[in-house]
Each structure stands twice: as structure tokens, then as C-alpha cells.
Amino acid sequence: MRKLTMPELNRLSLSEYQQVEKLDVVIVLDNVRSLSNIGSFFRTADAFRIGEIFLCGITACPPHREIHKTALGAEESVKWRYFETTEEACVYLKENGYIINAVEQIEGSVMLNDFIHKEKSAYIFGNEVDGVDDEILQYCNNAIEIPQEGTKHSLNVSISGGILMYEIFNSLWKK
């Protein structure tokens, strides 16, 4: 057994990545505080060809050294935009025909393994302490919960993002 070399991995260049098809999926970060978490979202979105990331409220924006440390340059490949409030982002998404999904443990949420992903969808991830803001839930068509069987009742937001983006990719890209 041996590790593959960089040329053997056959990765796209930045210009090639910008030209290839992406999923019509938007990841919305609702007041995510940690710069490392933000960077992780960029890196994972790049890996699974997510269309765009919306950074809302106190969520920091590139360029930023701490975001770059985790994103490893994915903040340059993944399209993103900033909204002063998550509500503004939701209004924009609704006006443009997106289905909005909260990733949150709430009454009526659907377990991820039972959820059917669709193109032209947005997924909102909330603040590390408070989750998706209660005021934002009114804009959501669905709520998705990641099944957990341990003693803890939550996952790190960027881990949740990784699990969900992989599921979206596996469901939509591989179909």
C-alpha cells in the first residue's frame, strides 16, 4: 500500500474548477462564529461541488488568515456572498425559487437518512451555541436532523456540514 502522489490524485486546477458544473445548492451560515468552522465549510463545499455559500450576520468573510488556514484556498474556488442578516439571505433564496432547509433538531424535523434532496435547495446551518435562529425557521420549508446514537445531542457545525454535503453530493451528483 502507498499514498497517491498529487499528480495521481488528478485534482482540478482553480481555473478548471471554476468552469465545471456545480450542484445548484446553497449553504447558508447563520451567524457562525468560528473562523475554522467557516474555513471547513469552504473546503468541504469545494470537495463536493456545492454551488455557493452565503455568509450571514457575524459570520466572517474571506480573505482572512484564519479562514484560509482551514479552507486551504477553497475560499477562492467556492463562490460566496455576504448578507447582513440571514433573513435577507432567505428572502433572496425564496425570490429565486430555492427550497430552504434548516439543519436543526426541531419538532417535525426529518432524519437525514429519510430526507430526499433536490437541486435548487439551500441548507441553513446555525450558530455554534444557539443553532439556527428561531426567527429564520419561518422561512424554512423543511428541517433536517442528523441521527445520533451517543450521549451527546449535537455535532460541531462543520462536522454536520460535512455529513450533509456528502449526502447531498451522493444523492444528487451520483444519480
Burial string for 2-12 (b: 16+ CB within 10 Å, else e) reads: eeeeeeeeeee
Confidence of residue 80 (pLDDT cuts 50, 70, 90): very high
Name residue, grid cell 451528483: 173
Total structural domains within the chain: 1
Residue 92 lies in a domain: yes
136-154: burial string, b at 16+ Cβ within 10 Å, e else: bbebbebbbbbeeeeeeee
Does an H or E element contain 145, and which?
strand 142-145
Query: What domain range is 27 assigned to?
Result: 22-146+153-173
CA angle (143, 43, 166) in 5-degree steps: 45
Q: Is residue 9 part of a domain?
A: no
175: pLDDT strictly greater than 90: no
Give the global pTM.
Answer: 0.97
- Residue 13 forms part of a structural domain: no
Please report whether residue 31 resides in a domain. Answer: yes
pLDDT at 82 over 80: yes
pLDDT band for 174, please (50, 70, 90 cuts).
confident
CATH number of the domain that residue 163 is part of:
3.40.1280.10
